[in-house]
Amino acid sequence: MMIKFEQPIELYEPRAVYLTSADGKWLVHVVEDGAEATADFETQDHAEAFAAGQRVRLGLPTMNA
């Protein structure tokens, strides 16, 4: 099956916030100005709250938008 896209796909966003988990910790990755910073949290709730704040700071859509 072939998928056709009407617009080019950007492989790297200039600004992004995403969560991952590893080794029992939650990681928030913040991409800004070509650099990525990572913050780790013990709980998912704290990671999600931090990520939401970073999305607001970067002017990105929030998860509830």
Position 2 in a domain: no
Bridge partners (DSSP) of residue 31 are 16, 36
Nearest-angstrom CA–CA distance, 26 and 48: 9
pLDDT band at 11, cuts 50/70/90?
low
Mean pLDDT, residues 31-55 taken together: 93
State which residues form the domain around 52: 15-58
- State percent of the chain over pLDDT 70: 77
* Confidence category of residue 50, pLDDT binned at 50, 70, 90: very high
Taking the C-alpha atoms of residue 6 and residue 61, their distance in angstroms, rounded to an integer, is 22
* 5, part of any domain: no
At 21-35, the pLDDT tens digits run 999 999 999 998 878
Q: Is 44 part of any domain?
A: yes
H or E stretch at 51: helix 44-58
